[in-house]
Amino acid sequence: MAEDSNSVKAVEKELNDNPGSSGDVLVVKPKKKKAKAKGKAKPQHEGKEKTHRKMKTPKEESMDFEDSGDRRSQVNVKEEPEEDPGFVTKGKGKKRKRKVDNTTSEAPLPKKKKKKAAEEGQENSATVKKKIKGKKDKVIKEEGGHSVSTKKKKTKEEIEAARALKIKKKEEEEKQRWRWWEEEKYEDGIKWKFLEHKGPYFPPEYQTLPDDVKFYYNGKPVKLSLPAEEVALFFAQMMDHEYTTKEVFRNNFFRDWRKEMTLEERQLIMDLNKCDFGELHAMHKQKVEARKNLSKEEKLVNKEANQKIVDEYGCCVLDHHRERIGNFKIEPPGLFRGRGDHPKQGMLKKRIQPEDVIINCSKDSRIPEPPAGHRWKEVRHDNTVTWLASWTENVQGSCKYVMLNANSKLKGEKDWEKYEVARKLKTCVDAIRAQYQEDLKSKQMGTRQRAVALYFIDKLALRAGNEKEEGETADTVGCCSLRVEHITLHDTLDGQKCVVEFDFLGKDCIRYYNKVPVIKRVFKNLKLFMENKQEGDDLFDRLNTQMLNKHLSSLMPGLTAKVFRTYNASITLQQQLKELRNMKDNVAEKLLSYNRANRAVAILCNHQRAPPKTFEQSMANLQAKIDSRKEQLDLAKKELKQAKKEAKGSSDNKLLIVVEKKKKAVQRCEEQLLKMEVQATDREENKQIALSTSKLNYLDPRISVAWCKNMEVQLDKIYNKTLRDKFAWAIDMTEHDFVF
C-alpha cells in the first residue's frame, strides 16, 4: 500500500488546447473538464473483487494523463486526433455479470416494459382479519398485557372498542393535519415566516472501555488514550463488514487513527495488521445482542425515552404549525462508508461539536440553547432556506443540513411542484423530441452531442451526469459524463440493428448495463463522437450539464434533465396501469398489476438493491413448500379419482358428497399452489429490483390515488403510513379522473 491514495489531486492540466483549427466559430465553447488524471492512484488491490452483486466494476486503473481534450469542432471535419502520447491504458477490469436488461424498442418514447413479473400482494381479507387481531393484542399489551389465556378471553366488544379507538385516533390526526395545499403560496424565495426549534440532538459522549476489555498490539495489551480508543472502537465495530478487509479502507483508517493517537501510541502502533481488536469487537457484538434480548418492558421504556427525545428535538414550529424534523440528530462520529471504490472510505468522520453548527431560525423565536458549556458556531435568521441547522462534514468538506420531514409543508409543496413541472413537460415533450431529432443533424458538434445526450436521458432515463472531482469520489458517471469505454456499438446484435451496449457505474456505484437499439442517426453520431478517442475520453466532449440544462430551460421554464426521469417514470406508471387494468380482478390481482407497473418503472430507472442476505435460503424454502404442495395435490387428485370411481353408477348420496369434497380439496390445493408459484416468480424477479425509490421519488402520487379510487382498492394496500403522510396533499386533492 505504499502510497495509496496518492491524493491524486492530480495535476490539473487545463490543456486548453486550441483545437488546432477549424475556426470553430460556430462551435460551442470548448468545455474544459477537470483533467482526468485517471491514473487515479487507485490502489486497486487486485485480488479482491469478489462477488459483489453490484459490480463495482473495477475498471482497473487506466493511467493516462490528461487527454488533450481534443475537440472535433465541426461535424464533418474529421480532425486530426491530436493525440497524446502520455496515454497509457491498462485494460479494464473484469466486469460483473448481472441481469437487468431492459432492452427497449425504438423511438424516444417511454419504453414499453415487459410486464411479466408477478407481484406480491396476495394479501387481502386475510390481512384485514389479522389486523383486527393485531389491534386487540396491542390493546391488551397496553393494559399491562397478560398471557395467552387472557387474550383468548377478549371479547368481540373489546375488539370493537379497540377498532373504534384506532379510528378515532386517526380522525384526530386528520384534524391536526395542516392542509397547506389549500393555502396561498408565499412570494418567491420565502420559505417561512416563523421558525422555532430546539436545535439538533447530539450523540452521547464516548464512554471509555471497561477494564476487562483490552486492545492488543503485537500480542501485548495496550491501554489507549481516550481519543485513540474511541476510533479503535469504530473499527472494531465494523469488523464483520467487508469494508475492513479492503486495503483502501484500512489504510485510510489507519492514517486517521494515528492522527488521534498520542505521540507514544503513534510510535508504538505502526502496523494495523498487528492490532488485535478482538475483545472490542466481541464486546460490541455482545452489546448488540443484549439490546436485542431486552425484555418487553425494557424495550418499552427505551421506546418511551426515545419518543420523548423526538417530541422535544424532533419537532419544530413553522408558521404556527408543528412539523416533524427529518434528521434532527447530529451524525455521530465513525468511519466514512463511501460506496463502491471510494478513495476516502475508512477515513475518520469526526465528532461534531455545537461550535461547528450553524442554527437557522426566526429572530423572534426562542433561540435554541447550545449544550451546556458550549456555544453555536453561528445563529442566523435566513428564511430563504429550509434548513434549521447545518455543519460542515470533515471527510468531503460538504455541508450537512437538518431539514424537515417529508410530510412537512416545505417538502410537500416542493414535491407537488416537481410533479407539476413533469406534467408540464408532457404537454411539450413531443415538440422537444422533434427538436432533438432534428438537432441530431446539426452542423455543430455541440448541438449534436446535446441531442444524443437528450435522446439517452429521455429514452433511458439516465441521470444528467455532472462532472465530479477526480480522486475525491468513486468513479461513477451519468449521461453527460459518459466516457467512451462505457458504451460499445454493435451494428447488429442478436438480430437487432444499431445496438448500443451500456456498461457503467451510476449513482451509488450501481451498475447500469443495457443493450439498446437506437435510431440510426443516433448510432452514426455515436460513432462519430468516438472517433479518435481512447478510453478515458469523454463521449460528449463538448457538452456538460449546465449547457444541457440551459438549453432545456429555454424550451420550457423549469425544465432540467432530471425532469425527464420524473416524467418518464410517472407516465410509464400511468400507461402500465391502464394496460393492466381489469376490474374483474380480485384485490390481490389488482395489486399484482400495480406492482408490476411499479416494477416497470424501477427497471427503467435502474433502481437496484442487494439481494437480501437470506434470499437463496428463503427461495429454497418456498420451493420446498411448493414441492410438498404439489405432492399433496397429486394425492388429492388420486383420491378424487378413486372417489369418482366408487361413486360411479351408484346414486348413493354419501358417495357423491365425498366426490364433491375431494373436488374441493383439489381445487384448494391448486389455488394455493398457484399462489405460491406466483410468489416465487415474483420474488425471483424482484431479487435485485427496489420498488421503493421510484414510489417515493418519481411516481406522481395522484396517479396511484386515482387508480385506487377507480379500482376500488384501499389506499393503504399501496401506501404505508409514511407514504400516506408524505402524500397527504395528493390523497386529499385527487379525484378518480386525475390524469398525469
Partner DNA sequence: CTTTACACTTAGAAAGATTTAA
Partner DNA sequence: TTAAATCTTTCTAAGTGTAAAG
CB of 110 closer than 8 Å to CB of 568? yes
CA angle, 578 as apex, 576 and 584 as ends, to 5°? Answer: 115
Nearest distance in Å: CB 102, DNA: 14
Nearest distance in Å: CB 567, DNA: 11
Percent composition of the chain: helix, strand, coil (DSSP 3-state, to 5): 45, 10, 45
Residue identified by cell 458556531 is: 377
CB of 308 closer than 8 Å to CB of 298? no
Nearest distance in Å: CB 236, DNA: 13
Residue identified by cell 486503473 is: 61
Q: What is the DSSP string of 218-275?
A: TTEEE---HHHHHHHHHHHHTTTSGGGG-HHHHHHHHHHHHHHS-HHHHHH---GGGE
Work out the end-to-end distance of the chain between its first and last CA atoms, rounded to an integer number of angstroms. Answer: 55
- The residues near 63 (Cβ < 8 Å, ≥ 6 apart) are 38, 39, 88, 89, 90
3-state secondary structure of 723: helix
Nearest distance in Å: CB 241, DNA: 6
Amino acid at 380: R
Cell (9 digits) for 332: 455521530
Amino acid at 248: V
CB of 518 closer than 8 Å to CB of 498? yes
Radius of gyration of the chain (CA): 30
- The residues near 164 (Cβ < 8 Å, ≥ 6 apart) are none
Nearest distance in Å: CB 589, DNA: 16
As a whole number of angstroms, the distance between CA 232 and CA 254 comes to 9
Residue whose CB is less far from DNA, 222 or 325? 325
Nearest distance in Å: CB 298, DNA: 11
Residue whose CB is less far from DNA, 31 or 521? 31
Nearest distance in Å: CB 382, DNA: 6
Residue whose CB is less far from DNA, 106 or 331? 331
The torsion angles phi and psi of 136, rounded to 5 degrees, stand at -60, -50
Cell (9 digits) for 196: 422555532
Residue identified by cell 424534523 is: 325
Nearest distance in Å: CB 32, DNA: 5
Element (H, E) at 166: helix 156-176
Which residues on adjacent β-strands are paired with residue 608?
689
As a whole number of angstroms, the distance between CA 420 and CA 588 comes to 31
Amino acid at 237: Q
Residue whose CB is less far from DNA, 276 or 475? 475
Torsion angle of the four alpha carbons 112, 116, 120, 126, in this order, in degrees rounded to the nearest 10: 110
Annotated catalytic residue 217: no
Residue whose CB is less far from DNA, 115 or 507? 507
Element (H, E) at 726: helix 721-726
Nearest distance in Å: CB 457, DNA: 9
Residue whose CB is less far from DNA, 339 or 433? 339
- The residues near 103 (Cβ < 8 Å, ≥ 6 apart) are 514, 515, 516, 517
Nearest distance in Å: CB 217, DNA: 26
- The residues near 339 (Cβ < 8 Å, ≥ 6 apart) are 474, 508, 509
Residue whose CB is less far from DNA, 504 or 529? 504
Nearest Cα residue to 548 out of 482, 608, 595: 482
Tally of CB atoms within 10 A around 713: 20
3-state secondary structure of 436: helix
The catalytic position among 455, 513, 567, 698 is 698
Nearest distance in Å: CB 210, DNA: 21
As a whole number of angstroms, the distance between CA 98 and CA 2 comes to 34
Residue whose CB is less far from DNA, 597 or 658? 597
Cα–Cα distances in Å, from 30 out to 535, 542, 720? 20, 6, 49
Tally of CB atoms within 10 A around 513: 19
CB of 478 closer than 8 Å to CB of 577? no
As a whole number of angstroms, the distance between CA 447 and CA 444 comes to 5
Nearest distance in Å: CB 83, DNA: 23
Amino acid at 209: L
Residue identified by cell 448481472 is: 98
| Active-site amino acid positions | 698
